[in-house]
Amino acid sequence: MVLPRAAKTQRRTRIQEEKEEQILEAALEVFATHGFRGSTIDQIAEVAGMSKPNLLYYFRTKEAMHRALIDRVLDSWLDPLREFDAEGNPVAEIRSYIRRKLEMARDFPRESRLFANEVLQSAPHILDELKGPLKTLVDEKAEVIRAWAKAGKIAKCDPYHLIFAIWSTTQHYADFDVQVRAVLGIEHSGEGRFEDAARFLEQLFITGLAVHDSAPS
């Protein structure tokens, strides 16, 4: 057999699983740093520690690699939002959503940058996912937030823009890491900046969304 991608429909070799894993790891590194068009197969091959034709044996095109990577990462990327619980305490839910998003920005910055690059450049490869699954999920959670506001549990606000604000403020620490560190200076560029950010963002969102006396349910 010469076509590994076809063989995959049957059963995958141990080697296949290992190598595909290796390749996607390298692809994440490179795509996240240079974007799709800015990345080269040679670069990815080098990071993956294999030759270019070898790499193309597992993924027939650059786009196939990118697509496989996105498919694998997108789901886990949305997990924090999925865990947003309608039954939970509103303030606690928002707080822990911010926490989780910030932890992801700290622990998985490459995944964040992968999407940031893609979206920044008009999301040519994931637009459908944004309009479909992502929109559906956000619509659902926005409804939850709207209900909380209506019940007077949090301040009235546009739930979509609230979600955007949480996304942008947290992912900022992954996507614009270089700028954050440049501005903070070496002395504040330790991992402590994530603690500081968490403290600030909690204060901002929790206080900013608290129901104040003049606006009862």
Partner DNA sequence: TGATAATTTGACCGGTTGGTAAAACATTAC
Partner DNA sequence: GTAATGTTTTACCAACCGGTCAAATTATCA
Choose from DNA, a second copy, none: what does 158 bind? Cβ within 5-8 Å by kind. Answer: a second copy
Is residue 56 near a second copy by the rule CB under 8 A? Answer: no
Are 141 and 163 in contact by the 8 Å Cβ rule? The answer is yes
Are 197 and 142 in contact by the 8 Å Cβ rule? The answer is no
User: Mapping DSSP to helix (H, G, I), strand (E, B) and coil, where does residue 9 land?
Assistant: coil
The 16-45 site mask, x for binding DNA (CB under 7 A), equals: x--x-------------------xxxx---
Is residue 57 near a second copy by the rule CB under 8 A? Answer: no
**Rounded-to-integer distance, Cα 68 and Cα 27, Å:** 10
Are 62 and 125 in contact by the 8 Å Cβ rule? The answer is no
Burial readout 106-140 (b: 16 or more C-beta within 10 A, e: otherwise): bebbebbbbbbbbeeeeeeebeebeeeebeeebee
Which of 122, 187, 191, 217 lies at the binding interface for a second copy (CB under 8 A)? Answer: 122
Is residue 83 near DNA by the rule CB under 7 A? Answer: no
**Rounded-to-integer distance, Cα 32 and Cα 60, Å:** 20
User: Mapping DSSP to helix (H, G, I), strand (E, B) and coil, where does residue 60 land?
Assistant: coil
**Rounded-to-integer distance, Cα 152 and Cα 109, Å:** 36
**Rounded-to-integer distance, Cα 30 and Cα 17, Å:** 20
Q: How far is the CB of 122 from a second copy (least distance, A)?
A: 5
Are 67 and 27 in contact by the 8 Å Cβ rule? The answer is no
Is residue 60 near DNA by the rule CB under 7 A? Answer: yes
Q: How far is the CB of 170 from a second copy (least distance, A)?
A: 9
Which of 27, 29, 33, 61 lies at the binding interface for DNA (CB under 7 A)? Answer: 61
User: Mapping DSSP to helix (H, G, I), strand (E, B) and coil, where does residue 94 land?
Assistant: helix
Is residue 47 near DNA by the rule CB under 7 A? Answer: no
Nearer to DNA, 1 or 215 (CB): 1
**Could you tell me which stretch among 3-11, 65-73, 121-129, 144-152 binds a second copy (CB under 8 A)?**
121-129
Which residues are near a second copy by CB under 8 A? 33-38, 113, 116-117, 119-123, 127, 130-131, 134-135, 138, 155, 157-158, 160-162, 164-165, 167-169, 171-173, 175-176, 178-180, 182-185, 188, 196-197, 199-201, 203-205, 207-210, 212
Residues that bind DNA (CB under 7 A): 1-2, 4, 7, 10, 13-16, 19, 39-42, 50-54, 56-57, 60-63
